[in-house]
């Protein structure tokens, strides 16, 4: 049997002159094609005055072709899985609610769930959900085992770097076409640079939801962070929507929406007020609410921000994501999916789903991407909460097992955006200080073992040193997808492109926006 493999050494050896030339070509291409960030600063000017190139890798990172194809193949199953989770209110109430779920121990999750429960009790005007997703993976390559694909997490809100990942893939193809990378490796061939059309893929999901809203004059609302530096990743989606579908967009922050957004009490139409100089009616109707913010507690500065979020969901606009779909992306849900029978419930129950079920081999392929994980609150079966330990404050089996295996684990809370996890040596002192009531909000996950011996040349900007720095690295590979769905409505879904983020091997976190990683792309390698 042929197993997937990666090159034993990477990147290929080049001279300093060749590296300098590649750095010049890469940074010039980045500035010419919008592979950019706004520069750091306490406040961003209203009208941008300057930009820096995004952090990037000079070489694409090798990925076995069979694992690339596997990730693309199973994205449709993941899209369907998370759509069905978001529609299962009883499941989300039990796992993420404030009575017995994560919301009891995590105030942020509790706030979102409580607001969602109140909205359900009042009656939701819109039954459709839109999800723009990204499933993130590492290559798992422990000694004496063939490399395999292991999931880091499944993201359901504010998935970023779709546009810039497409630009990075084209950057690496450009470097190949202009230099052949100096014939330094037999792997560097045109057929090993896969296409990446993430902008078109994600925009198609938004446009499909807009069409279902059935008002050509309505606009898509981008809910963004104040002082957003990553505008060059977001704007291309607006341009694609306008140029290909004639759909206009509008960008506002939570704070701005607190003043400008309103919902008609009868029609439940969501309107955002604008200057009459920009639109003669003084307002625009919203078809789709697309969140590029709202995933972290610090973004809800006051109760007004939560009420703004709930106002948007109360309307007939299609939310991307709904609160239900955001809760479905929680790390606790990821852990519960590893429990016996849960995948079968969502994907293989013919009485529930009819012919829209998946085969055992498809479930097995999905399950093979899971690492071992458990909740800190569980008993010896690693499934059932140990309520006695939680009530008494004593450390139950889940905590004791985490202490014992700390060197091979990561602890994850119900957070997005990077910088939240606890690793290895830091775990025991963290557990010493963790209040017993908060254990339910954390999961322990076995660490993925990336391939050894892989490196790259990393080029950052804004720090005064533009030289490419060679480093031993690990690469995180993600597949984008979208799904539009609702109760008693067939799920429409597609795979929508990919990204690679590469970081120094000694860095635990992986966010580009948080400064840990650089943007990269795929070089396919065969067995």
> What is the number of other CB atoms lying within 10 angstroms of the CB of residue 225?
18
Tokens found for residue 519: 């943007």
Taking phi over 0 as left and psi of -120 to 50 as alpha, with beta for the rest, 218 belongs to beta
Whether 416 is catalytic? yes
- Catalytic residue check, 123: no
User: What residues have CB less than 8 Å from 426, skipping those under 6 apart?
Assistant: none
Residue 493 β-bridge partners: 483
Q: Which of 252, 286, 248, 280 is nearest to 267 (CA)?
A: 286
**185 annotated active-site:** no
Q: Is 94 a catalytic residue?
A: no
Asked about 509 being catalytic, the answer comes back as no
Cis bond leading into 448, ω under 30°?
Answer: no
| Percent of the chain that is helix, strand, coil (3-state, to 5) | 40, 25, 35
* Positive or negative torsion for Cα 128, 413, 163, 521: negative
Q: Is 229 a catalytic residue?
A: no
99 a catalytic residue: no
Place of tokens 């429960």: 117
Q: How far is CA 399 from CA 374, 421, 441, in A?
A: 10, 16, 13
Closest CA to 505 of 476, 462, 525, 468: 476
**Is 153 a known active-site residue?**
yes
Q: Given 155, 165, 319, 517, which residue is catalytic?
A: 155
Give the DSSP H or E segment for 225.
none
Distance between CA atoms of residues 429 and 446, nearest Å: 18
Which is the catalytic residue, given 294, 501, 511, 517?
A: 501
Look at the chain and count its residues.
527
Marked catalytic residue, from 104, 292, 331, 415: 331
Would residue 134 show up in a list of annotated catalytic residues for this protein? yes
Tell me the CB-side half-sphere exposure of residue 257, using CA atoms within 13 A.
30
Catalytic residue (choose from 412, 415, 494, 503)? 412
Catalytic hit among 65, 84, 134, 309: 134
SS3 assignment, position 204: helix
**Which listed residue (238, 285, 313, 416) is catalytic?**
416
Query: Among all residues, which ones are annotated catalytic?
Result: 134, 153, 155, 160, 331, 412, 416-417, 501
């Amino acid at each position: 049997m042929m197993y997937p493999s990666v090159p034993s050494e990477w990147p290929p050896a080049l001279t300093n002159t060749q590296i300098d030339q590649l750095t010049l070509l890469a940074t010039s291409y980045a500035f010419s094609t919008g592979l950019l960030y706004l520069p750091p600063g306490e406040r961003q000017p209203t009208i941008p005055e300057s930009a820096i190139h995004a952090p990037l890798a000079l070489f694409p990172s090798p990925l076995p072709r069979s694992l690339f194809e596997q990730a693309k193949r199973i994205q449709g199953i993941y899209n369907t899985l998370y759509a069905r989770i978001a529609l299962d209110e009883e499941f989300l109430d039990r796992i993420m609610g404030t009575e017995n779920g994560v919301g009891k121990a995590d105030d942020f999750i509790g706030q979102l769930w409580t607001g969602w429960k109140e909205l359900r009790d009042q009656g939701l005007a819109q039954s459709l959900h839109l999800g723009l997703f990204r499933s993130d993976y590492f290559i798992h390559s422990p000694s004496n085992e063939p490399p395999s694909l292991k999931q880091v997490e499944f993201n359901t809100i504010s998935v970023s770097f779709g546009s810039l990942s497409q630009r990075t893939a084209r950057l690496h193809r450009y470097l190949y076409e202009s230099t052949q990378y100096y014939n330094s490796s037999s792997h560097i061939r045109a057929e090993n640079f896969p296409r990446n059309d993430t902008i078109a893929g994600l925009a198609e999901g938004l446009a499909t939801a807009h069409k279902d809203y059935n008002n050509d004059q309505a606009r898509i609302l981008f809910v963004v962070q104040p002082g957003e530096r990553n505008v060059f990743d977001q704007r291309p989606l607006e341009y694609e929507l306008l140029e290909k579908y004639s759909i206009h967009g509008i960008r506002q922050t939570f704070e701005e929406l607190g003043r400008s957004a309103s919902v008609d009490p009868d029609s439940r139409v969501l309107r955002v007020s604008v200057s009459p100089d920009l639109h003669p009616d003084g307002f625009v109707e919203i078809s789709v609410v697309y969140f590029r913010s709202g995933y972290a507690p610090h973004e809800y500065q006051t109760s007004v921000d939560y009420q703004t979020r709930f106002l948007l969901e109360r309307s007939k606009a299609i939310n991307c994501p709904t609160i239900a779909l955001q809760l479905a992306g929680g790390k606790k849900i990821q852990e519960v999916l590893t429990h016996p029978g849960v995948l079968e419930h969502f994907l293989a129950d013919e009485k529930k789903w009819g012919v829209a079920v998946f085969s055992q081999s498809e479930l097995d392929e999905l399950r093979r991407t899971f690492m071992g994980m458990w909740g800190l609150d569980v008993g010896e079966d690693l499934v059932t909460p140990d309520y006695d330990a939680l009530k008494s404050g004593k450390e139950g089996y889940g905590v004791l097992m985490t202490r014992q295996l700390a060197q091979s684990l990561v602890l994850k809370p119900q957070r997005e955006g990077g910088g939240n996890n606890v690793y290895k040596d830091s775990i025991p002192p963290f557990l010493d200080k963790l209040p017993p009531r908060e254990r339910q909000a954390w999961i322990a996950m076995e660490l993925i073992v990336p391939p050894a011996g892989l490196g790259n040349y990393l080029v950052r900007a804004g720090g005064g040193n533009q030289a490419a720095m060679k480093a031993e690295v690990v690469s995180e590979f993600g597949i984008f997808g979208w799904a539009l769905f609702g109760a008693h409505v067939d799920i429409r879904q597609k795979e929508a492109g990919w990204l690679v983020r590469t970081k120094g091997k000694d860095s635990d976190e992986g966010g580009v926006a948080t400064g840990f990683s650089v943007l990269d792309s795929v070089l396919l390698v065969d067995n």
